[in-house]
Structure 1
Amino acid sequence: MPHSKPDPLSDLLAELARHAGAPGRERRLPPVENWNPPHCGDIGMEIRADGSWWHQNGRITRPSMVELFATILRKDEDGLTYLVTPGEKVVVHVADAHFLGTRVDRIETGQGPSIVVTTNVGDSVIVGPGHPLWVEIDPITGIPRPYVRVRGRLTARILRAPFYELVDWADLKDDRLILSSGGIVFDLGAVEGLAP
């Protein structure tokens, strides 16, 4: 009887299913920072610059699977990103950011006006000390690339439309756009460099 070729992705999903909560329960993030499994190699997982997830050059199109994988994503001190379960750890190649910031909202908190960034995988974070916001300028195109820390060392690149909402909400100070959130002031950059 022929032996079937092992499928690392199926093994990872099976391992994850053993530790996932019951269907319909509120989403809870597993304590991936406490798990220390052996490194199991490279199975061809990647997150491309447009936020799409791929396995061995095939796009993962089920949003529920992407959201599930996002809950066990971790970036370690070695600078590499991994999918982590209690039993195994596999590398994920990340072209830019781990997630996309698809929406921004303004709310009032005990620290004054704050910004909530929502990602393409269902995370929502309040920009502030634990979730800083920064803007990098693409050296080739000169286009601003805004980011926010989501959790651990994982980041989201804020898409253009929500970023320009942030620009609209910002105050002008010495030709720079300044945005307050979570009791912290963030510099979005020079006005001339942020024109849509």
Structure 2
Amino acid sequence: MHLWHPEHCGDIDILICADGVWMHEGTPIGRPELVRLFSTILRHDADGYHLVTPVEKLKIRVEDLPFRAVSMRHENGALVFVTDQGDEAVAGADHELVVETDPQTGEPAPRIHIRADLWARIVRSVFYELVEMAHEVDGRLAVTSGDKSFALGPEGAGL
């Protein structure tokens, strides 16, 4: 899909809500198979999110991130995240785990890289699992996946 460069055809009234619900013209898209199909042709370009086929490129809106990491499992010493659309990402060099913190509220905003420039917001319950397995590295809570360590918060947020 990254090789497809069709002309921009305009906007389509599709919104991916922060809670992961895909809406079309203000109504939830009720067919999970259709949402999954759309998720496979989703691309993030400099000017926003688009559904892209070989012949058209339609801009959509995304409230937060396009995917949500809704579960996680341990596999061969690595953390495997599964999105609400069935994508899997093994945290590591190719799939960074990033936790930004709101400077005013201190609220963590964890995310995992899925593909190209597409990310998944890690849901709260999965983030709690990460915190429970965390260890302290250089004064920060961190988790390890494979041979890579990921900080779960700002400096001084250790155990």
With structure 2 as the length reference, what TM-score do the two structures score? 0.92
1:7 corresponds in structure 2 to none
1:189 corresponds in structure 2 to 153
1:71 corresponds in structure 2 to 40
1:169 corresponds in structure 2 to 133
CA distance in 2, matches of 1:159, 1:194: 21
Within a 5 Å distance, the mapping from 1:20-169 to structure 2 comes to 32-76=1-45, 78-108=46-76, 113-169=77-133
Structure 1 runs of 4+ with >2 Å offset:
138-142, 190-195
Q: Match for 2:108: what amino acid? A: P
Flag the 1:192–1:53 CA change in 2: closer, same or farther, 3 A: farther
Alpha-carbon contact 1:101-1:156 (below 8 Å) kept = yes
Q: Match for 2:71: what amino acid? A: R
CA distance in 2, matches of 1:79, 1:181: 32
CA distance in 2, matches of 1:145, 1:46: 21
Aligned length: 159
CA distance in 2, matches of 1:88, 1:194: 48
Q: Match for 1:71: what amino acid? A: T
CA distance in 1, matches of 2:29, 2:157: 35
Higher relative CO (Cα under 8 Å, sequence separation at least 6) belongs to 2
More strand by share: 2
Alpha-carbon contact 1:54-1:60 (below 8 Å) kept = yes
- RMSD over aligned Cα, in angstroms? 1.9
| Higher Cα Rg, which structure | 1
Q: Tell me, what secondary structure is at the counterpart of 1:186?
A: strand
Q: Match for 2:31: what amino acid? A: R
CA distance in 2, matches of 1:67, 1:59: 14
CA distance in 1, matches of 2:120, 2:149: 19
More helix by share: 1
Unpaired runs of 5+ residues, structure 2, are none
- Name the stretch that deviates more: 83-92 or 165-174: 165-174
- Name the stretch that deviates more: 129-138 or 153-162: 129-138
Unpaired runs of 5+ residues, structure 1, are 1-31
Alpha-carbon contact 1:144-1:194 (below 8 Å) kept = no
